[in-house]
Amino acid sequence: MTTTWIVSADAGRARIFAESDPKQPYIEIEDMVSPNARVRVSDINTDRLGPTAAGKSIHSTGNATPNKQFEPAQTPEQHDAEFFARDICAYLLKGWQEQRFQKLELVAEPKFLGVLRGQLDNQLKPLVDLELNKDYSHCNAHQLREQLQAQKTKF
């Protein structure tokens, strides 16, 4: 019998459910929480030096200093989301290598779905049966099943 893993996630929490029989309820097999999901933004950002902090000090490299409107390529939140997506994808890859599932459904908050898709291993990409850009990460197994059934009937 084919087992499908359903990943319901946002940038702070991912719940992984298994479905072997469409008539049986989903079974929650993992509840992952991002380590930085519960940390205040001020705790993450306050110790960081500004982009021009050492610009005029003796420690400066002598190069031109970035202007005051410097923006990093990635915000701390985006960086944390990427690392969390890597953790989720590593767990999925391990589960697939252990032959615990044959199909995969990704249901995630829209921005995080893109991050998750980008971190998905090439071995897992062909297994993805459904991608849905909705945040159902706080739904219980029964509510998630109802939402997915409703979405599938729209296709």
CA–CA gap between residue 119 and residue 9 (Å, rounded): 14
Tokens of 111: 């921005």
Using an 8 Å Cβ cutoff, are 34 and 80 in contact? yes
CATH of domain 4-37+74-154: 3.30.420.60
CA distance 32 to 47: 27
Angle 84-149-155 from CA coordinates, rounded to 5° = 95
The length of the chain is 155
pLDDT at residue 66 tops 80: no
Sign of CA dihedral 10, 14, 20, 24: negative
Please give the backbone phi and psi of residue 154, each rounded to the nearest 5 degrees, phi first. Answer: -75, -25
* pLDDT for residue 153: 86
| pLDDT tens column, 96-150 | 999 999 999 999 999 999 999 999 999 999 999 999 999 999 999 999 999 999 9
For residues 152 and 145, what is the distance between their CA atoms, to the nearest angstrom? 10
Place of tokens 């921005």: 111
Between vectors from CA 83 to CA 50 and to CA 32, what angle results, nearest 5°? 130
pLDDT digits (tens, 9 = 90+) for 15-60: 999 999 988 999 999 999 998 766 655 555 555 555 555 555 555 5
